[in-house]
Amino acid sequence: MNFLYSDEPIIACSTSATSNAAMAVLRISGFQELTEYQNFFSKNLSSVEPRKVYYTKIIYNNHVYDDVCITFFAGPASYNGENTLEISIHGNTLNIERILKLFTTHSNTRLAAPGEFTYRALKNKKLTLAQVEGLDLFLNANSGYALNEGLSLLSGSLYDLYKELYFLFTRHKASLELSIDFSEDVGEETARQNYLSSLEDFRKKFKSLVSRVAPLTHNLLEPEIVLAGLPNAGKSSLFNFLLHSDRAIVSPIAGTTRDYLSETVIIDETRYKLVDTAGLREASDVIEKEGIRRTKKLLEKSFFSILLINPFESDETLNDLLRDDYDVIYFTHADLPGFDGARAQLVARFSKLGPMGAIDLQNPGEIARKSLNALITKKYLDLISGKPILFDRHRALILQIDEMLDNYVNSATYEQDVAILSHELNTLGHCLSELIGIISPDQVLNSIFSNFCIGK
C-alpha cells in the first residue's frame, strides 16, 4: 500500500464503471482550492458554495466533454475530511475513461488506489478502523444479514456498543486511578466500591458481545452449498437445475466432473456459492484423486452439504459416504419405475437414511427446489439468530479480551497490588482499542484496504 503516505489530489469513478449506465459519479479529493480545476469547467468555480449542486459543462481547450452536475464539499465537512468535488457525468464507460484521463493528464491529480478515499477518512479521523471494516462489509456483503451488520458497525448499534464499551472501560480505568491517588479524599471504601461497580458495568456489557462470537460464522460471509455423492448420482444435473442453466456437463460417464465447479445462486436475499464436485469413489487416476481430495475439503468448510444418492446404483461405498454428516440427503432418479422399492431397500440397509436420518427429497422439479431453498434459508436464519459478529478480526480479539477480562476480574477481587492491576488493565485496554479501531496495526490496515474497490 504505497499510497499511505502520499496526499496528492486523487480522482476516481465512485460508481461502477464496468458497464454503461445513465450516470456515473467521479470524485476528486485532496486539493487546496476548487479553482485549481477552473480550466475544466464552464462555470466560474470561485462562486461555487459548498453542498450546493451546480449544472455546468466540462470543457477543455474548447472541446466540450460532457454536461455535468458538480457538488463541492469543503473539508473538514466532507466524507474523508478533505476538500472534495463530486461530478455527476454521463455513465458511458468510454466517457468515464476519457474524463478521468483529462483530469489526470492536465492537473496534478492522479488516479486513486482502491480504498484510498476511505483511507484518508481514517487518517483524518472521520471514521474509526472498525467503521471502515463495517463499510467494507456493507459494500461487499453477500446477504441481507451481512448488509445489516456492515451498516451496524459503520454507524449503527454495533458501533454504538463499541463506543459504550470504550466509555465504560475508561470510566473503570479512572476509578483505578482514583483509588490510587485520591482514596484518602473520597474514602477507601467508596473508592473500592466505585472501582468494583465500574468493572462490573464493563464486564456485563462486554459479555453481551462474547455471546455473539458463535463458532460457526466463518462460513456466513461466503456461504457455500456443496453437492456431493458417488459418480453419476446426478450432482451436475441438480447443479444445472438449481442454476437454471447447462453450466456443468451432465453425462452417464462416471468421473465426468473431475474438478469442482461453482456458481452464485441467490436464495431469499442471500448469495451462496453453489458447488458441483467430483464424485466420491475409490479412484486410481491422479486427477480424479485430487478432485476427490478437494471435494472432501469443500465438504468440511461448507455451509450446507447435500448428499445425492441414486438408489439404483447403490454401492457399498455408501457406507463410507454416510460416515459424514450432511444437511440433506437427496434421492435422484425418482422418475424411474421401481424407485420406491430401490429406495426402501437402501433405507433398510443404511439406518442413516431412515426416517430419523437426514431429510430426503425425492421429488424432482420445483417442489425439490422449494424444499431445498427452505432448508438452506432455515439453517442460515438459525445461524444468524444469535446476531453473530461476522468479522474474524473482531471475533479473535473479543475472545482474547474475554480471557484477559476473566483474569483481571479475578485479580481485581483478590489482588490488592495496584501496580499489577494497572498493568493488566493497560494490556486489556490496548486490545480493546484495537477492537474498536482506535489503534490500527499496519497488517490490519493492509488486509482491510486490499478488499476495497477503486473510488471508495
* Least separation in angstroms between CB 256 and ligand GDP: 6
Verify binding: residue 237, Mg ion, rule CB under 5 A.
Answer: no
Verify binding: residue 305, ligand GDP, rule CB under 6 A.
Answer: no
Verify binding: residue 233, ligand GDP, rule CB under 6 A.
Answer: yes
* Least separation in angstroms between CB 93 and ligand GDP: 39
Verify binding: residue 109, ligand GDP, rule CB under 6 A.
Answer: no
Site for Mg ion in 353-412 (CB under 5 A): none
Going from the C-alpha of 274 to that of each of 95, 223, 430, the distances in angstroms are 37, 9, 41
Residue 440, Ramachandran bin (φ over 0: left; ψ between -120 and 50: alpha; else beta): beta
Number of amino acids touching Mg ion (CB under 5 A): 3
Rank residues 39 and 245 by Cβ distance to ligand GDP and give the closer one. Answer: 245
Binding residue for ligand GDP, selected from 118, 152, 257, 295, defined by CB under 6 A = 257
The window from 50-58, 179-187, 245-253, 318-326 that contacts ligand GDP (CB under 6 A) reads 245-253
Site for ligand GDP in 211-230 (CB under 6 A): 229
* Least separation in angstroms between CB 310 and Mg ion: 12
Q: What is the DSSP string of 418-453?
A: HHHHHHHHHHHHHHHHHHHTSS--HHHHHHHHTTPP
Site for Mg ion in 217-236 (CB under 5 A): 235-236
Report angle CA 24, 1, 146 to the nearest 5 degrees: 60
What the block records as the C-alpha cell of 46 is 470561485
Q: What is the DSSP string of 320-359?
A: HHTTS--SEEEE--TTSTTHHHHHHHHHHH-GGGSTTSSE
* Least separation in angstroms between CB 67 and Mg ion: 53
The residues, any chain, with a CB within 8 Å of residue 167's CB and separated by 6 or more, are none
Type and span of the H or E element at 226 = strand 224-229
Rank residues 120 and 235 by Cβ distance to Mg ion and give the closer one. Answer: 235
Q: What is the DSSP string of 306-321?
A: EEEE-GGG--THHHHH
DSSP H helical segments within 211-285, as ranges? 235-243
Rank residues 96 and 226 by Cβ distance to ligand GDP and give the closer one. Answer: 226
Tell me the backbone φ, ψ of residue 248, rounded to 5 degrees.
-95, 150
Verify binding: residue 179, ligand GDP, rule CB under 6 A.
Answer: no
Residue 333, contacted partner among Mg ion, ligand GDP, none, CB below 5-8 A by kind: ligand GDP
Q: How many CA atoms lie within 13 A of 32 on its CB side?
A: 3
Verify binding: residue 291, ligand GDP, rule CB under 6 A.
Answer: no
Verify binding: residue 243, ligand GDP, rule CB under 6 A.
Answer: no
Residue 229, contacted partner among ligand GDP, Mg ion, none, CB below 5-8 A by kind: ligand GDP
* Least separation in angstroms between CB 332 and ligand GDP: 4
Rank residues 30 and 291 by Cβ distance to Mg ion and give the closer one. Answer: 291
* Least separation in angstroms between CB 340 and ligand GDP: 14
* Least separation in angstroms between CB 97 and ligand GDP: 43
* Least separation in angstroms between CB 9 and Mg ion: 53
